[in-house]
Structure 1
């Protein structure tokens, strides 16, 4: 959405250059308790520090959150 892209201008738009996935750090590290800025920071961290190992760790942690959905609404 154009208004969302405009808000991302301060974050160099890194998150706009990747395909969306089904999980991410903010989904497993805070969920509804995080604000937009913190979610964006976690997404950018993921983009800038990406490795296959980190993706596998994120998938593992996601499976644990699915089984025990603490913080989910």
Structure 2
């Protein structure tokens, strides 16, 4: 895991939440937790978004689709 990238994700997420709350900056007591979900799903728009339908949507290159399917064992 690229820790610099993770740090950037934390910064973007907390800045977006602060902006949505009308705050100038994130509160020091906020925590951001990342959790790997093995079956290839993640949260999006308040719900769980499975990756398999996205593989058929055309947003990934065929190389990436093959890599994701291989990683998921499918």
Quickly name the TM-score band, shorter chain normalised.
Answer: under 0.3
Q: Greater RCO between the two (CA within 8 Å, min separation 6)?
A: 1
TM-score between the two structures when normalised by the length of structure 1: 0.26
Structure with more of its chain in strand, by fraction = 2
TM-score normalized by structure 2?
Answer: 0.26
